[in-house]
Amino acid sequence: MGVIVTGESKKEFTLRISQANPTEIIVITYEIALNYFEDAETALHENQRDELKSAVSHIQKCISALMESLDFTQEIAMRLMELYTYANREIAKFSVNKKEEHLKNAKYIFRELLPAFQEVSKQDVRKAVMENVQTVYAGLTYGKNDLVENNVSTDWNTRGFRA
């Protein structure tokens, strides 16, 4: 299967989300969705029904999250909603008839929009959405095959979102 199902990639996405501002979270959601598109294509070609169903379900969750994140005070939100609705419809068609063209149509939207959101995220200077998260230091030590990241926290009771 694809990248997203590995424990290591989940840790990476979780770390990135904990440090991300709102626009960066959108970028991460796009990247996660694209990984699930890859998983769905692989599962389709290898006739793995359960994995295919799971990947499609995760794609739909990503689309829903993107729809919910839209700020309709912004002019572009309605256009994005139309694109997300189209992608969701294509995924629904794919779920019914398993024609790969529907999956590819939806994936195309994500591939095309991702670079734009990556560019916007570079200009977004807002703070991270999550507050009171662990400080992560990368590069201080190295493992046998990779970089080791160290989490430093003095108060475990204040991590994450504040209610």
- pLDDT tens-digit readout, 73-82: 999 999 999 9
Residue 143 shares a structural domain with residue 116: no
- Reported as a pLDDT band with limits 50, 70 and 90, residue 1 is very low
The pLDDT assigned to 146 comes to: 63
Query: Model pTM?
Result: 0.76
Same domain, 28 and 79: yes
Domain span at residue 98?
7-123
Report CA torsion sign: 35, 36, 42, 48: positive
Q: Is the dihedral of CA 142, 146, 147, 151 positive or negative?
A: negative
pLDDT of residue 11: 80
State the pLDDT at residue 136: 52
Mean pLDDT over residues 15-37, rounded?
90
pLDDT of 163 over the 50 cut? no
Does any domain span residue 1? no
- Tens of pLDDT along 89-120? 999 999 999 999 999 999 999 999 999 999 99
Residue with tokens 């046998």: 144
pLDDT value at position 4? Answer: 45
Domain membership of residue 2 (yes or no) is: no
**Rounded distance, CA 4 to CA 39, Å?**
8
- Exposure string over 36-51, b if 16+ CB within 10 A, otherwise e: bbbbbbebbeeebeeb
pLDDT at 7 over 90: no
> Alpha-carbon distance 151 to 148, whole Å?
10
Q: What CATH number is associated with residue 111?
A: 1.20.120.340
> How far from chain centre, in Å, is Cα 86?
18
Is the same domain home to 80 and 52? yes
Split into its structural domains, the chain has a count of: 2
Would 146 be classed as within a structural domain? yes
Chain segment 39-68, per-residue pLDDT in tens:
999 999 999 999 999 999 999 999 999 999
Per-residue model confidence as pLDDT tens digits over 149-158: 555 555 555 5
Instruction: Say if residues 51 and 39 touch (Cβ distance below 8 Å).
Output: yes
> Both 61 and 93 in a single domain?
yes
